[in-house]
Amino acid sequence: MNETEQLLEQVADRVRNSARGHGRSLPAPLGAGEIPRAEGILGFTLPPLLAALYTRVGDGGFGPEQGILSLREAVTTYEARRESGWRWPEGVLPIADFGCAMYACVDCRSETAQVLLFDPNPGEPDLAWSIDSPSLAGWLRGWLDGTAWFCEESGLGEEYDLEPAPWAEFRSRI
């Protein structure tokens, strides 16, 4: 079993245990045809790990904060952000709503599927984008082990100096 397979299994186990512990069910995984359909709407392909989360674990509802957006919500949010007053970079898909207009987003053009944090609250487009994690795999591992900044339930994220670095590619991608 390779690292990606192990990570997917760890995420699936946590999702199953969490759902069981809270007495709720999560959305079922998507059918194989849903990913190409969404990619056709978006105009870019999803990173393999993100596509596998949707087709093997579930269509959102798990993960940090309020959980990963369903694929439909992610596509709709991407389209809405591209049409809003903010200049939204091409190929950057919102995957989790952190509240207060903040989103965790996957850079679908990045080889590692880096995760970006969009926080418009400073009011400046150049200050709104930072690198949350160099990879989607790392971002998921931070959630699983409680070391990510957004892991309030464990308190471990507070032990790390996790000031995100500005995303330098912002200007070249709008």
What's the CA angle centered on 146, arms 99 and 75, to 5 degrees?
40
What is the rounded CA–CA span in Å between residue 107 and residue 136? 9
Could you tell me which residues come within 8 angstroms of residue 94 by beta carbon, excluding any fewer than 6 positions away?
69, 74, 77, 78, 81, 103, 104, 105, 118
- pTM for this structure? 0.89
Q: Is 9 within 8 Å of 1 (Cβ atoms)?
A: yes
Per-10-residue mean pLDDT, the chain, length 174? 92 84 78 96 97 96 90 97 86 94 95 95 83 95 87 50 77 84
Matching residue, tokens 């809003």: 84
Domains of the chain and CATH, by start: 3-173 (3.40.1580.10)
Please, how many CA atoms are within 13 Å of residue 31, restricted to the half-sphere of its CB?
3
What is the rounded CA–CA span in Å between residue 119 and residue 116? 10
What is the pLDDT at residue 158? Answer: 46
Matching residue, tokens 């790990």: 49
Q: Is 139 within 8 Å of 105 (Cβ atoms)?
A: no
Return the DSSP state at 68.
B
Question: What is the end-to-end Cα distance of the chain in Å, rounded?
Answer: 39
